[in-house]
Structure 1
Amino acid sequence: MEDLRRLFIGKGRQQLPLPLKPEMANYYVFCRVEAKRGKVTVNPKLPITKATLTKQLRDFGEIAGFPWAVFTHRFRYGGGTIMNASGLVSDAKQNLIMKHRDSRVFLNHYLPRRVDVDMQALMRGLEPNSELMRAVTRMGRWMDPRRPRELTDEQKASVEDEPELIKAIEKRDRLALELQSQPRKNEVQLARLKRLKKAVTNTRQRLLYALRSRVRRDFDDEQAVIDIEQQLAGTAIADNETKERLKNEDQMPPELVTLNEKLMTWPTSDSIEAEWRRRNEAVEAVRVYCDVLEGGPPRGRRPLAVNYVKEDVVMEDAPVTTATALSERDRSFRAAEEHIRTASEPLCCFQCYADPGQADSRRLKHYPYHRNLVRHFRDWHLDERRCNFCGDQAGDFLQEMHWKAHVLNAHRLLKCR
């Protein structure tokens, strides 16, 4: 680029061509990328396929937050509309640029059906606000990066209750049971069972796609109500349901939820006193949170949400006991402590559990197998030489052999030696 900036057009000439190297003439800017046997290869001499480009544009549109699919022809729609409204291009030149036979093609397929003329100002003899009308009629006004791209687990599970899918599953299972009772399988029935299995898969995918489209379509109205309620309340965490979700699903301690609630606010009054009050509450929330021990940053993939034990139903007239008064978090910690004390091959790490600086997801994590817990202990806690679970009763273990013996005898971590 530095050499290019030093070039100039010589005297008496009006251009200086910059020819490409012959060996670079057949290289594509948007080239084909293929994955074979887990290895990604880039082939610059082949163009990107139309299917790949279409899928990438659709994904880019969803990431940007458009409610509809983005495809290549949308760029022609926008460019043609701007060129037609500029008044700088004649109809003949427009047809040449757009490669149209005549102007009827643009009128029938490209001219927007949404009128962007400020009719009120026009009828009243005022100067039309063209910038405002263009802003309220352009496609970008629907962009919202918060628009969901994937269904949640609850939404996916709701599809299983659809009558159409239930009926298809029943037909498949009925034929499968009939074939199991037959000693010799019929090829015709096997082919029919294969078609029924494919029908179940197609039905499920079609219902999931319809539900995803409906969720994306209804997002604007539902999210608008949420945004309005939050702005009127003056905070992004306005209801108790949001607070409980942050505590349970995102594993936020109550102090952090309060901190976010006080910091993520906006003015609801024009008075200076209200602004000072909002500032003082945020400062106080920061001061209170300074004493909270967070622990180190999370490592690896994002931890899964902790499955808290559901509370039993308490009758209104029944006396409130200690067991019923416990929160879901306290009951989960009690269950984890009981598991650590009594399990022959525990799946929960006693060191992480007894460390208050760790997140709840880390303290209550259950490993799928005992050997996974042993591997975790070797990598993370073998050099600590102090038992967080036993506290002062165990003391410090100066020798590694004593620390391993304690882990084996007191906490039943096998194969730690």
Structure 2
Amino acid sequence: MPRLQRSYTDSDDSDASFSPDDDEVFDGDDSDNDAHSAATSVKDFNLAGIDDLDADDADDADAEIDVEDQIQLFGGNLHPPAYYIQSMEVFNQDDYESEDYKKGTTRLINSVEEQWFRCATCCLLLVPWANEVCARFCKVVKHPDSYQPISICLLYKFFEWRLNQKFTPDARRLRGIKKRSSLGTYWKVFRLAYERAVEEKIEPKLNRCMHKVLRALSKKFALSNERRPNRCMTVDQLEGQIETTLSTTKKSFKLGEMRIYAVLFLLLLAPAGARPTSILRLRFSHLLIVLERDPEGGPHNTLVKFTLAFTKSYLGEKAVNTYPLPETLSASSLFLNTHVFLLGILFRHRAFLAPTLTSPHDLKTLNIHPGETELLLPLRKELDDVYVFRRAVQSLMGYVISDNEAISYGMIAAWTRRCGELLGLAYETIPYNLRYNAANAWTTSIDISEDLRNLAMDHANSVPVRRHYLGREIDRDIGSIVRGTKPQHALVKQSCSVGHSMSKRRPVDLTTEQSASIATHPRIQSLTRELQKLPRGSEKYQSTVRVLRKDKLRLRKELKQQIRQAWTVKQAVEDIERQLQGRGFAPSPSDPVTTSPQRPAQKRLMAALTAPPATDLEGQYRRRDDAIVAVMVYCTVEEGCTVPRRNTASPKQGGPKPSPPHASLVDAAMVSVFVRNKKDRPRRCFLCVGKALSLPPEDPLVEEFIHEFYTSGDVSKHFRRKHLKNMSDNDSSDCPACDMTLDHKMHLQRHAFDTHGTVS
């Protein structure tokens, strides 16, 4: 069919628009003629140039054009105009006129409004019309004419009142404002709250005057003007952080997979320089694993690409960045090998779509089709919406990875900070240390342009990098540059990094005496005396216990921080004096990182990651695959003491006799959890003993699982608190001691009583 074209014929020619027969049909009122004229004009536009069609084809074409006319009339939708008229009547435009803030910002704004209301209702801000201002601000008075302009005096008194607050209305201690920058942030949030309530911004003149108010209040309340150090964590220090995280027994994780997460998070954050929360929101659908052909003729490379799709997207969807990570096999250790930890997670959850791709040893047997450059290793579709970094939740038999509950930033930040302390760093280690390092490295690299750096960091321009990310301690040997001599950049960069004063001798925790000294604090003594006067079990008693516990934790944390800050200078003076006196350095204390022995799975993991590099390609593949398998095995390890050791000093006199000797303690414990009659009450938990069967005999946790409780009643308490509490009524379970499946919770309780003598 030839292309339809519009005919530009003379408008006075009647044959160009309609036939005489059509004129006889439309001989009615004007409205019909107008409708016909509109229809025929549309037909002219669509049917011009097809005069050679026969009558039957023309009728079919007319029928099709009528449908097209209706579609064009309703704008591509079959809804009539009444639908849109009714929709306009019920449309709520307030949802689109209001400012769109992130949840955290909204909570801050709501908090400021609440504090403004508290201030105005408690003291009326010493101004007669303050209640009217408060009412208008809190959307109580709906008439704008009753609103009185806010003044600098009113704002000064409100911020002074806020700085004087130490407790909330429910007697909880406030964190307080300690820095001038925090006070400035509070003022910015106040302006947002004011604008949301009054629907207009604060006057520019008042805003300028508030800078003087904030300076005066900062001086009056002695607020610190010190900014948080933006020191970088170098690659060498990152390797030390990862080694400490994997090897330490001072820091315990609920599940071995959580320890692997703590390492994988840093390895993905370091090269991407991304925001930490965007890494934590990674889903399996954001990962792409491909076997890539080396254009330079080397062996095939396993390339990992990850896309950060959740980067400050609350204002709308944004273009996402994808970061590629080629694999490096020849490093001295595998601590910095992202592929080992990521592939360990993928193989552990059987994430690959190919059914037989279940072992890392299969990777080296794969090849790329001739003439192609890559082989995709797709992941299972059912994992698309599942988070990579997930929490550990408690189940009947211990801790397992949750179905899809993501790890929070607070959790990963606490892990990073604690492992940094064990490494011996003076400053608090934060994930942003790695983002600072990436920004500084990209700024000085000739391979990364300024635009590419801003794109990778998701910045609109270079202002955020210059203001927040570039180190305020210049990490270049500027003296040598000025003199024209060879600069010592590595030395200066090391002194400006987060690990400049790293020392394993630095205190990590309080000693017993230091922790006991908290009891002499006046606040603790006052709460202790108050607690002694209250009846046990009362609501007031319970709340006072909680306040006392929190205050002790806060004071211990403050004392620990003071000791760590004073240690650097104190230890430096001691080292100087000992050397000048000829005594040398004092003996180093025991390594706080490994105070207790490592378990077999942890030893295997460390041995695999520190294995020396091989000289041939096959040996390098074997070294990588062994490390991946070690990661897979360690993910299933449950860490920490899961069995309470209270009241286990000695068995009760006249209690059940010890089990007869067997070849191993586990076998003896297994025999002891089975009863001969209904009156037998073993003093071991049959579920914990069953878990001990899956552990190597040399595992230190075996002793914890098979230990005897003081009484059989303690076994019942443990069974209810540690096992039954973590399952629903209809959940099925397995008895590892009997190797049988139990249909529901009551079935488990019946089996525990009949077979193992545990009352629940």
Larger RCO: 1 or 2 (CA < 8 Å, sep 6+): 2
TM-score, normalised to structure 1's length?
0.49
Instruction: Report the TM-score, using the length of structure 2 for normalisation.
Output: 0.28
